[in-house]
Structure 1
Amino acid sequence: MTELHQAAAAGDFDKVEDILRQNKCNPNQRDVDWSSKTPLHWAAARGHTETVRILIEHGARPCLRTDHGWTPAHFAAESGRLAVLRLLHSLHAPIDKEDCCGDKPLRIAQIYGHHECVRFLKKAEAECQVYRSMATNKGLSLDDTDEEWADQSKENEEDRSNIHT
């Protein structure tokens, strides 16, 4: 776990800001000991909204996924962090991606009984899809795919099909 991961998890905004301004750490660094979580995953899970904002402003990608396919939105949904979900949505972060089990942040919020998050995510998912469609039609670039995770998922699927043949 890097110094930036630790500061993001602790919600130490000043330290996160200092690390980012000095370019001491890649804001998209994955922690292999913690299922490939990035500092943004930690900040989202803990509800540190301003830390989430500054990480994204410094290049943190909200589409990056853990080993199990969770985005920062999944972590925010799990812990009922409505303010973080609202912020992610306002920044056009993907809040409607499925994890390895096919669960979107909406389903995670339902499982944990975070009713306000569920209400918000129902509306926000539809808005997210409309925005994605509009951006595609206008040729706008979207940062909503974790290429590394997609490649790994494809490899895992191929390995499973080879076992069964």
Structure 2
Amino acid sequence: MEGEREAPLNDGDNGELLKEENENGAEGAAATEEPAGTRDTGNGGVPHRDMQCSSCVEDGTNALLKPSAASMDRQRTSELSTLDTLSIHQLAAQGELSQLKKHLRKGENLVNKPDERGFTPLIWAAAFGEIETVRHLLEWGADPHALAKERESALSLASMGGYTDIVIMLLERNVDINIYDWNGGTPLLYAVRGNHVKCVEALLVQQVIENHILKLFQNKGLE
């Protein structure tokens, strides 16, 4: 009726109302709570996986990602098959020593065989900084004095790449440090252009030694 007041709630009604509000608040909090196992642990926002999730990943997804022994064998067989189709020049450039040695056994003097550009296996190995391949090729009889069609040499290409150890190894074989290519470039010039300080030092030392020896011979001839 109009003007009639609602009856005040008794203590029992108050308890029921509070209980209902608490339950609704708990449900709301549960709905907004972060998923278990992904709560921020203060390590830069990286989610933390609980032990149960980790074991699931290890037993499930990781197991699928691990390659089987059969697939690894197939991959290795494919790689070996690819290596078998490469030329001695490609093998030298890639430093594939075992395959290179296998190919060189197939014929005489293949160690100095030039490709279409006149590059020998030694020139290719020196150009790509394959020091162990260079060492073995020299031991197998590779000619360090060989020149390609445009007068490229193992020494000039090693100097261009800054491969000091290879430069020194070739200098020990008495290669000509003043050899020039089609562009008029010398090993020293390429080392300077590339800012390869150690190569420059090695070449300059060798040049000083050769000039000194040359003067000694000239002076002896004048006596």
State if a TM-score over 0.5 links the two structures.
Answer: yes
Query: Bigger CA drift: 58-67 or 5-14?
Result: 58-67
What is the match of residue 138 of structure 1? none
CA RMSD of aligned residues (A): 2.7
What are the equivalent positions in structure 2 for 1:23-102 lying under 5 Å apart? 23=107, 26-32=110-116, 35-102=117-184
The percentage of aligned residue pairs carrying the same residue is: 30
Contact 1:88 1:95 in 2 (8 A): no
Equivalent position of 1:154 in the other structure: none
1:94-147 CA distances to partner (integer Å, 9 max, x unpaired)?
Answer: 33312223321000111111111111111123335667899xxxxxxxxxxxxx
- Equivalents in 2 of 1:22, 1:54: separation in Å? 17
Unpaired segments of 5 or more residues in structure 1?
135-165
Shift of 1:6: 1.2
Higher relative contact order (CA 8 A, sep 6+): 1
Equivalent of 2:197 in 107, 115, 136: 115
TM-aligned CA distance change 1:47 to 1:132, over 3 Å: farther
Corresponding letter in the other structure for 1:84:
I
Deviation, 1:67, is 2.1
CA contact (8 A) 1:44 1:73 kept: yes
Q: Equivalent residue of 2:126, what SS?
A: helix
Counterparts in 2 of 1:3 and 1:25: CA distance versus 1, 3 Å = farther
Mapped to 2, the partners of 1:97 and 1:133 lie a distance apart of 20
- Partner SS for 1:27: helix
State the shift of 1:41 in Å.
Answer: 0.8
One-letter amino acid matched to 2:148? T
Question: Structure 2: which amino acid aligns with 1:71?
Answer: S
**Structure 2 length-normalised TM:** 0.52
Supply the distance in 2 between the matched residues of 1:21 and 1:129 (Cα, whole angstroms): 41
Q: Which of the numbers 4, 10, 13 marks the counterpart of 2:97?
A: 13
Whose radius of gyration is greater, 1 or 2?
2
Partner of 1:148: none
Contact persistence 2:144–2:173 (CA under 8 A) = no
Q: SS at 2:111's partner residue?
A: coil
Q: How many residues align?
A: 133
Relative to structure 1, the CA distance from residue 4 to residue 128 in structure 2 (aligned partners, 3 Å threshold; closer, same or farther) is farther
Amino acid at match of 1:74: S
Judge conservation of contact 1:76–1:84 (CA < 8 Å) in 2: yes
